[in-house]
């Protein structure tokens, strides 16, 4: 409550917790509208109008809106501290060290976003000097590229808010200690002239993951460290890649798959799928375990996300399995493995990413994942059946 009050009455009162969400929801609805129009135009209107052409502008505009809302979503993740990270060591630390670790993590995160903000503005200056336009709508490239300084600048503000709030929790001494440790981690960047690329890349990535930096940010920071320490590429390349790496129409399917899973969980469909699976296999040995596997297969076939499947189904099935006498480690492992089955059964987010990266047909990948996914699910169910029958 105090944080919300502070946000409303402070210098950045306009930057409240719903600032990004307004644009994200609007952008998501706009993408749905444009893609729906493209489908209607391609498969209905063109059947009645000769030489109707193709509504390629919808794809182009949807891609750029997708890039904008993706980086706005990262600002929301910063505010909620919901990015995926390795927290095994963090969970074992005393509370004081946990608080200091957040100072370190968010300071390192701020360095990355600050660098991309700075060089993102450099991209804008180049586009002002040498104007370019998009293919379909002839929009100046300046407009979509504005997300680099604006989006990452917004992330910087969110991180500064987080760091300031964490400093109030830690106190002056612990905050200084956290900043000193963060500078120590970055010290090779400015103390050493040259380091081989591989030790820098993998060493920094492992270190950052261990101390709890989100995995995506660890990848970005380790890449930035490699560029600086090994002088392999110009730093400006980082800002360019942040835009081009997600400027892909097929990748847009991923957030919609995940959104479908979220809607399922919020609307109660997860529980109904669980009840359906329970009717199918619930009467056998290890019924609740078999039900968990079958439900993960159903859920994964809609959301395409392993983590979303495990989170939605595990929250329902793991407590029930423990209550019925299952070992808690077996319960967690079974649901985690079943979540991987959901990734193999289409639609699958990893298949989309792999298809885009390797220029392979995503449809063929989806077709190829059906049988292995079902077979893996059956093997998991057989193991759960014999495990439960043996242990009663």
pLDDT of residue 52 exceeding 60: no
* Number of domains, the chain: 2
pLDDT tens sequence across 196-250 = 888 999 999 999 999 999 998 999 999 999 999 888 788 888 888 899 888 888 8
Domain shared by 177 and 278, yes or no: no
User: Does one domain contain both 224 and 265?
Assistant: no
Contact 89, 265 (CB under 8 A): no
| Domain limit, last residue, from 205, 228, 244 | 244
- pLDDT single digits (tens) 71-90: 998 998 898 888 888 888 98
Q: Which of 226, 244, 262 is the last residue of a domain?
A: 244
Do 257 and 240 sit in the same domain of this protein?
A: no
Q: Is the same domain home to 260 and 240?
A: no
Number of H helices, E strands in the chain: 19, 0
* φ/ψ (deg, to 5) at 216: -60, -40
Same domain? For 335 and 216 the reply is no
Region of poorest pLDDT, from 58-62, 268-272, 319-323: 268-272
Tokens 């991180």 sit on residue: 159
Based on the fold, state whether residues 311 and 199 are members of the same structural domain: no
- 294 and 160 in a common domain: no
Confidence of residue 118 (pLDDT cuts 50, 70, 90): very high
If DSSP codes are grouped into helix, strand and coil, which group holds residue 140? strand
Task: Mention every residue, 6+ apart, whose C-beta is less than 8 A from residue 255.
Answer: 28, 66, 70
Question: What pairs with residue 133 in β-bridges?
Answer: 140
Are 146 and 32 found together in one domain?
Answer: yes
263 shares its domain with 140: no
Residue 232 sits in which domain range?
Answer: 2-244
Verify that 205 and 80 share a domain, yes or no.
yes
The SS3 call for residue 284 is: coil
Does the pLDDT at position 14 exceed 70?
Answer: no
Q: pTM for the whole thing?
A: 0.80
Domain boundary pick from 213, 244, 275? 244
CA distance 71 to 111: 16
pLDDT reported for residue 13: 59
**How many angstroms separate the Cα of 370 from the Cα of each of 60, 97, 356?**
31, 46, 19
Residues 306, 183 share a domain: no
Same domain, 32 and 70: yes
CA atoms within 13 A on the CB side of 200: 23
């Amino acid at each position: 409550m105090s944080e919300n009050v502070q946000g409303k009455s402070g210098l950045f009162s306009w930057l409240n917790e719903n600032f990004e969400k307004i644009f994200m929801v609007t952008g998501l609805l706009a993408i749905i509208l444009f893609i729906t129009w493209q489908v209607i135009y391609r498969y209905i209107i063109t059947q009645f109008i000769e030489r109707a052409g193709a509504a390629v502008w919808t794809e182009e505009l949807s891609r750029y809106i997708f890039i904008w809302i993706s980086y706005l979503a990262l600002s929301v993740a910063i505010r909620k501290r919901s990015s995926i990270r390795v927290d095994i060591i963090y969970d074992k630390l005393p509370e004081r060290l946990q608080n200091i670790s957040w100072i370190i993590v968010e300071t390192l995160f701020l360095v990355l976003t600050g660098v991309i903000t700075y060089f993102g503005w450099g991209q804008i200056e180049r586009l002002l000097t040498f104007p370019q336009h998009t293919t379909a709508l002839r929009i100046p490239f300046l407009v979509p590229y504005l997300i680099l300084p604006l989006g990452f600048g917004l992330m910087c503000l969110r991180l500064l808010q987080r760091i300031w709030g964490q400093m109030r929790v830690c106190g002056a001494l612990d905050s200084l200690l956290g900043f000193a440790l963060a500078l120590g981690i970055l010290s090779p960047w400015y103390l050493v002239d040259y380091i081989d690329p591989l030790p820098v890349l993998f060493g920094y990535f492992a270190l950052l993951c261990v101390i709890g930096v989100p995995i995506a940010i660890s990848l970005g920071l380790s890449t930035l460290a490699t560029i600086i320490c090994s002088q392999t590429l110009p730093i400006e390349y980082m800002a360019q890649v942040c835009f081009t790496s997600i400027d892909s129409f097929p990748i847009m399917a991923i957030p919609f798959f995940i959104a479908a899973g979220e809607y399922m969980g919020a609307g109660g469909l997860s529980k109904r799928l669980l009840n359906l699976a329970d009717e199918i296999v619930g009467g056998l040995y290890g019924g609740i375990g078999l039900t968990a596997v079958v439900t993960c297969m159903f859920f994964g076939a809609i959301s395409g996300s392993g983590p979303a499947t495990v989170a939605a189904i595990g929250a329902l099935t793991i407590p029930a399995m423990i209550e019925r006498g299952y070992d808690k480690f077996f319960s967690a492992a079974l649901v985690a493995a079943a979540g991987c089955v959901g990734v193999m059964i289409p639609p699958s987010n990893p298949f989309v990413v792999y298809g885009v990266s390797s220029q392979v047909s995503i449809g063929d990948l989806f077709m190829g994942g059906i049988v292995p996914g079902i077979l893996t699910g059956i093997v998991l169910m057989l193991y759960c059946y014999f495990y439960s029958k043996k242990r009663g």
